[in-house]
Structure 1
Amino acid sequence: MNTENTGREAAAQSAETRTDLARRAGAFVRSTDFIDRLSRRVARRTESQAPGGGPAAMAYLSEEIVPELAELGFSSTIHDNPESDEHPLLIATRVEDERLPTVLLYGHADVQFAHDSQWAEGLDPWVLTRDGDRLYGRGTADNKGQHSVNTAALRTVLAGLGGTGSVAEATLGYNVTVLLETAEEAGSMGLRSFAAAHAADLSAELFLASDGPRIAAEVPTLFLGSRGALNFRLIAHERDGDHHSGNWGGRLRNPATVIAAAINALVDGHGVIRIPALRPDAPPASVIDAVAKLPDIVEEGAPETDPSWGEPGLSPAERVFAFNVLEVLALDAGDPAQVVNAIPGTASASMQLRYVVGTDVSDFENRVRIFLEEQGIHGVAVEFEHCMPATRLDPGARVVTAAAESIRKTTGLEAAVEPNLGGTIPNDVFAEVLGLPTVWVPHSYPGCNQHAPDEHALVSILEQGAEIMTGMFWDMHMRPDDWFSSK
Structure 2
Amino acid sequence: MELLDQARAHVDSGAFFTELATLVAYPTVSDAPEGRAAIQAYLDDVLTPALTALGCEVTQHANPDPAGGPFLVGVRTEDPGLPTLLCYGHADVVGEAGAWSEGRGPWTLTAEGDRWYGRGTADNKGQHLINLTALRLLLADQGKLGFNLKFLFETGEEIGSPGLTEFAQQQQDLLSADVLIASDGPRLDAATPTLFLGARGGIRLTLDADLRPDAAHSGNWGGILRNPATTLAAAIASLVDGHGRVQVPALLPPELPDSVRAALADVVVDAADEGWGDQRLTPAERLYGWNTLEVLALDAGNADRPVNAIPGRARAVLQLRYVAGTDVGGVAPAIREHLAAQGFPMIDVTADVSFLASRTPVDNPWASWAKSTLDAVAENPVALLPSFGGGLPNHVFTDVLGLATLWLPHSYPGCLQHAPDEHLLAPVAREGLVLATALFRAFSSAPPTLRR
- TM-score, length-scaled by structure 2: 0.96
CA apart distance, 1:370: 1.3
The letter of the residue matching 1:144 is K
Cα distance in 2 for residues equivalent to 1:385 and 1:61: 30
The letter of the residue matching 2:78 is E
Cα distance in 1 for residues equivalent to 2:212 and 2:103: 52
> Which position in structure 2 is the counterpart of 1:81?
63
> Which position in structure 2 is the counterpart of 1:9?
none
Cα distance in 2 for residues equivalent to 1:341 and 1:175: 69
Asked if the contact 2:83/2:444 (under 8 Å) is kept, the reply is no
Secondary structure in structure 2 of the residue aligned to 1:337: coil
Q: Select 1:68's aligned residue among 50, 54, 72.
A: 50
Cα deviations across residues 307-347 of structure 1 (Å, max 9, x unaligned)? Answer: 21111311111111111111111111122122112122111
> Which position in structure 2 is the counterpart of 1:55?
37
Asked if the contact 1:262/1:372 (under 8 Å) is kept, the reply is yes
Higher deviation after alignment, 31-40 or 412-421: 31-40
Which structure has the larger Rg over C-alpha atoms?
Answer: 1
Cα distance in 1 for residues equivalent to 2:44 and 2:349: 44
| Identity %, equivalent residues | 47
> Which position in structure 2 is the counterpart of 1:151?
132
Asked if the contact 1:295/1:416 (under 8 Å) is kept, the reply is no
Spell out structure 1 runs of 4+ moving beyond 4 A: none
> Which position in structure 2 is the counterpart of 1:8?
none
Cα distance in 1 for residues equivalent to 2:348 and 2:270: 41
> Which position in structure 1 is the counterpart of 2:213?
240
Cα distance in 1 for residues equivalent to 2:240 and 2:442: 47
> Which position in structure 2 is the counterpart of 1:4?
none
> Which position in structure 2 is the counterpart of 1:301?
none
Cα deviations across residues 357-405 of structure 1 (Å, max 9, x unaligned)? Answer: 1211214322211121122322111111333211111222111111111
Asked if the contact 1:217/1:446 (under 8 Å) is kept, the reply is yes
Cα distance in 2 for residues equivalent to 1:213 and 1:385: 25
- The RMSD of aligned alpha carbons is 1.8
> Which position in structure 2 is the counterpart of 1:306?
273
Q: Select 1:439's aligned residue among 400, 406, 429.
A: 406
Distance change (3 Å), C-alpha of 1:360 and 1:29:
same
Cα distance in 1 for residues equivalent to 2:183 and 2:24: 17
Q: Does 1:328 align with 2:288?
A: no
The letter of the residue matching 1:70 is T
> Which position in structure 1 is the counterpart of 2:166?
193
Secondary structure in structure 2 of the residue aligned to 1:281: coil
Cα deviations across residues 403-458 of structure 1 (Å, max 9, x unaligned)? Answer: 11111111253101111011111111112121211110011111212111111112
CA apart distance, 1:210: 0.7
> Which position in structure 1 is the counterpart of 2:228?
255
CA apart distance, 1:291: 1.0
Q: Does 1:355 align with 2:322?
A: yes
> Which position in structure 1 is the counterpart of 2:92?
110
Cα distance in 2 for residues equivalent to 1:130 and 1:366: 50
Cα distance in 2 for residues equivalent to 1:476 and 1:310: 40
> Which position in structure 2 is the counterpart of 1:160?
141
CA apart distance, 1:221: 0.4
The letter of the residue matching 2:40 is M
Secondary structure in structure 1 of the residue aligned to 2:70: strand
CA apart distance, 1:131: 2.1
Cα distance in 1 for residues equivalent to 2:42 and 2:78: 27
Distance change (3 Å), C-alpha of 1:238 and 1:412:
closer
CA apart distance, 1:171: 4.9
Asked if the contact 1:109/1:180 (under 8 Å) is kept, the reply is yes
Asked if the contact 1:216/1:297 (under 8 Å) is kept, the reply is no
Secondary structure in structure 1 of the residue aligned to 2:416: coil
Q: Select 2:4's aligned residue among 17, 22, 34.
A: 22
Cα distance in 1 for residues equivalent to 2:354 and 2:238: 22
Cα deviations across residues 160-181 of structure 1 (Å, max 9, x unaligned)? Answer: 221xxxxxxx251x21110011
Cα deviations across residues 152-209 of structure 1 (Å, max 9, x unaligned)? Answer: 11111122221xxxxxxx251x211100111111222222222222222111120110
- TM-score, length-scaled by structure 1: 0.89
> Which position in structure 2 is the counterpart of 1:97?
79
> Which position in structure 1 is the counterpart of 2:417?
450
Asked if the contact 2:227/2:311 (under 8 Å) is kept, the reply is yes
Number of aligned residue pairs: give it. Answer: 452
> Which position in structure 2 is the counterpart of 1:462?
429
Cα distance in 1 for residues equivalent to 2:67 and 2:259: 43
Gap runs ≥5 in structure 2: none
> Which position in structure 2 is the counterpart of 1:223?
196
Cα distance in 2 for residues equivalent to 1:467 and 1:171: 16
Q: Does 1:266 align with 2:239?
A: yes
Q: Select 2:150's aligned residue among 169, 177, 185.
A: 177
CA apart distance, 1:139: 1.1
Asked if the contact 1:29/1:149 (under 8 Å) is kept, the reply is no
> Which position in structure 2 is the counterpart of 1:275?
248
Cα distance in 2 for residues equivalent to 1:35 and 1:352: 37
> Which position in structure 2 is the counterpart of 1:430?
397
